[in-house]
Every structure is written in structure tokens, then in C-alpha cells.
Amino acid sequence: MQEEKKAYPFAIVGFFVTDKEATESFRKDVTPEEVEQIKNLLKKLIFVEGVDIAIAPFVVPPEQVNDALHELADIVFSSEEKDNRWLRL
């Protein structure tokens, strides 16, 4: 009998300092493979073996954090997105 897996939201909060606009501070050419590398690094360094994670990198103004977490949850748990490559639970 397979155990039921549960998903819990988590956040890693940081800051970046620049003299540019936030939208001008990020590379535009990040590949899906690079995002996968970041995900694997987080998974390896933060979580115990057997835990899988999904990530969606984006910048959120502090007053919009709650809405952003709900949006991410909608993406991860949407029945239309069951084949989403982020979610491998």
C-alpha cells in the first residue's frame, strides 16, 4: 500500500541589492535545466532524502506575498496541471 504524500508550502526569503529596477536584475535566459539544478540543490541541502519540492522563482513585493503563495498553490494543485513537470510528488 502506497503512503499518501502531502504537500506543504515553504518559502525562502532573501533580498538583492542593486541600482537597477527589479525587472532588470534577473537574467532573461535562465533555462529549465538551470531551474532544475536550483531545485535539486535546495532539495539536497535543505530537505531529508525522500522529500520532493517544486519551485517557481519570482520577485514578490512584501504586500503581495500571501497572494503569491496562493497563486503558487493553485499552480501546483490545479487538476489541469497534473502533468506539470514541477510537481513530482
pLDDT tens digit string along 45-66?
Answer: 999 999 999 887 777 777 887 8
CA distance 28 to 4: 38
Residue 71 has pLDDT above 80, yes or no: no
The span from the first CA to the last CA of the chain, in angstroms, equals: 16
Classify 64 as helix, strand or coil: helix
The pLDDT of 25-36, averaged and rounded, is: 89
Contact assessment for residue 73 and residue 9, using Cβ atoms and an 8 Å cutoff: yes
Q: Where are the alpha helices (DSSP H) in the chain?
A: 32-46, 65-77
CA distance 62 to 89: 29
